[in-house]
Structure 1
Amino acid sequence: MTIKPAKLSDPAVRAFVNAVNSHDREGFMRLLAPGATMSDDGSDRDLADWIEREIFSSHGHMDVQSESDGGRQLVADYRNDTWGEMRTAWRFTVEEDGRISRFDTGQA
């Protein structure tokens, strides 16, 4: 059963999912803390390159299936034009100012 983004518990994660699904690059970038980092399948990636390739130029979309850790861990069906659809896990580190300093994703 898909969880609608508006029902996600953590405000920063909710905004992240909304930005991905609406292809709002500017809104997405405002969510990230300075120097934010990320990993994909356990390997650190260049954040700017990854989000361009995996989210924005390939029309990424997240259908969240579950959340845990106060909404900072998600399992989502993620799809884009490059890879099709796959079950993915996401973990977010959110700073006191509400911005995301790190996210980790990979196949679930």
Structure 2
Amino acid sequence: MTVQPSDPAVAAFVAAVNAGDKGAFLAALADDATMSDDGTDRDLSAWAEREIFSSNGRMDVEDVSADGLTLTATYTNDTWGSMRTRWAFTVTDGRVSHFETGQA
């Protein structure tokens, strides 16, 4: 059963990933958004293309923190298969300004 994120910016991020919608994904992000994967800063654009859009990435959210900014999800893409992941978001002015992801 998929849990819906309570923060609107995080919900938009997850919906965009699951729809494979690059435009909606970019709209959910602040213009200067950053990210890290397993503790290493990554180029967000290159990472998203490789891990989400060209590999059919999708998130099945299992749990969301009380503030709506941290979630646990089964993340699946055509490259790596499925893995349990943790996502932590920073939201600024209604858009994701930073996110951290990694194995949970």
When the two structures are superposed, what TM-score results if normalisation uses the length of structure 2? Answer: 0.96
Structure with greater helix percent = 1
Once the two structures are superposed, the pairs formed by residues 6-85 of structure 1 within 5 Å of their partners are: 7-85=4-82
Displaced runs of 4+ in structure 1, greater than 4 A? none
Tell me which residue corresponds to 1:101: 97
How far, CA to CA, are the matches of 2:98 and 2:34 in structure 1? 5
How far, CA to CA, are the matches of 2:2 and 2:96 in structure 1? 23
Give structure 2 stretches of 5+ with no counterpart: none
How far, CA to CA, are the matches of 2:98 and 2:5 in structure 1? 18
- Identity across aligned pairs (percent)? 63
Give the letter for the 1:102 counterpart: H
Give the letter for the 1:42 counterpart: G
* Residue aligned with 1:82, SS: coil
Q: Deviations over 1:30-77 (max 9, x none)?
A: 111121100000000000000000000000000000010411000000
When the two structures are superposed, what TM-score results if normalisation uses the length of structure 1? Answer: 0.93
| Displacement of 1:102 | 0.2
* Residue aligned with 2:10, SS: helix
Alpha-carbon RMSD: 0.9
